[in-house]
Amino acid sequence: MKTLLNTGIFFLFFGGYVEGQNVTTPAGLENGYWIDTLENSGTYGKVFDKGTYVIIPVNTYPIIRKSNSNSFFEVKYINSSAIIFYSKIVNDSFAVKDGTWNRFDSLGNLIGAISWEKGIILSSRDHDLHGNPVYFDTSDYISNCYTSYQYIDNRLFKKKQNSLTENISINYYYPLDKLAISNAEPNFESDFLRRPIDTFKIILFAKDSIAIIGIKDSSHNFKFLDKKKNPISYP
């Protein structure tokens, strides 16, 4: 009798655990605690996002527009706008992520997290296996400002700020002292539809004595300028 009782308790506990994870409603909406699997996520390959889904009415936020692919809404949120992604709508409701969703690699190491407020991203962060920051961003819907931070060798390298409703950004590069990066290639992004002329200032140093054998433009859309903003080319 004692053996049968213990066995019964075990199966009740195990069954409750399975039922509480990756559950969908009869209509097929995600609800409660979930583990989402991403098969190909850059450096880490397969990763796992763990967090909670909640079901909210479609009209929770004033809708600005709906995507042609029926995959997201742009909605009015506080003093700005935000994008809400969804997989399906049932009875004028959909499932959205809420709270903190942690990201793990295939070995179970925590490598990042995203903070949600009923389908709206508030902030996200990535870090390496030692817990050092790699990337962080936050959206301030009160002041309508998005800010992101990029780190290299556990030091702030780049800060980017832009309006949440306009595609115009300001980039700050840190630190002003020398930052050593092996085999580096400068990478810049510009939106020429919004800013027909865009200028980046960067100062490069070499740890060892080197000779510059050439400077040239890879595209007629880009030009190298000297301190007086005159075009340069070498040789």
Mean pLDDT of the chain: 79
> Which among 149, 138, 134 is positioned nearest to 103, based on CA atoms?
134
Hey, what amino acid is at 230? N
How many of the other CB atoms lie within 10 Å of CB of 100? 14
Average pLDDT estimate for 33-46: 82
- Classified as helix, coil or strand, 60 is helix
Instruction: Please determine, for residue 170, whether its predicted confidence score (pLDDT) is greater than 60.
Output: yes
Task: Determine the Cα–Cα distance for residues 213 and 110; give it in Å rounded to an integer.
Answer: 44
pLDDT at 19: 45
Query: Looking at residues 20-42, what average pLDDT do you find?
Result: 86
Choose the weakest-confidence range: 54-58, 87-91, 196-200.
Answer: 196-200
What pLDDT, on the 0 to 100 scale, is given for residue 139? 94
Question: Do residues 123 and 88 lie in contact, with contact meaning Cβ atoms separated by under 8 Å?
Answer: no
Domain ranges of the chain: 23-173
Q: Which of 231, 220, 81 is nearest to 163 (CA)?
A: 81
142-168 per-position pLDDT tens digit: 999 999 999 988 888 889 998 887 777
Asked whether residue 96 carries a pLDDT value surpassing 80, the answer given is yes
Q: Is the pLDDT of residue 3 over 70?
A: no
The model's pTM: 0.66
Q: How far apart are CA 150 and CA 135, in angstroms?
A: 5
**Residue at 75: amino acid letter:** V
Q: Cβ of 86: how many Cβ atoms within 10 Å?
A: 20
Is the pLDDT assigned to residue 99 strictly greater than 80? yes
- Report percent pLDDT > 70 for the chain: 68
Instruction: Please provide residue 116's backbone torsions phi and psi, each rounded to the nearest 5 degrees.
Output: -120, 150
- In this prediction, residue 114 carries a pLDDT of 96
Residue that wins the pLDDT comparison between 198 and 161? 161
Closest CA to 52 of 115, 129, 132: 115
Nearest to 57 by CA among 89, 81, 79, 34: 89
**Which residues make beta-bridge pairs with 21?**
33
C-beta of residue 38 within 8 angstroms of C-beta of residue 49:
yes
In this prediction, residue 199 has a pLDDT band, given cuts at 50, 70 and 90, of low
H/E stretch holding 9: helix 2-19
Residues 118-147 have pLDDT tens digits of: 999 999 999 988 889 999 999 999 999 999
Question: 6: which 2 tokens?
Answer: 């213990």
Cβ-contact 24, 30 below 8 angstroms: yes
- Residue 7: count other Cβ atoms within 10 Å of its Cβ: 10
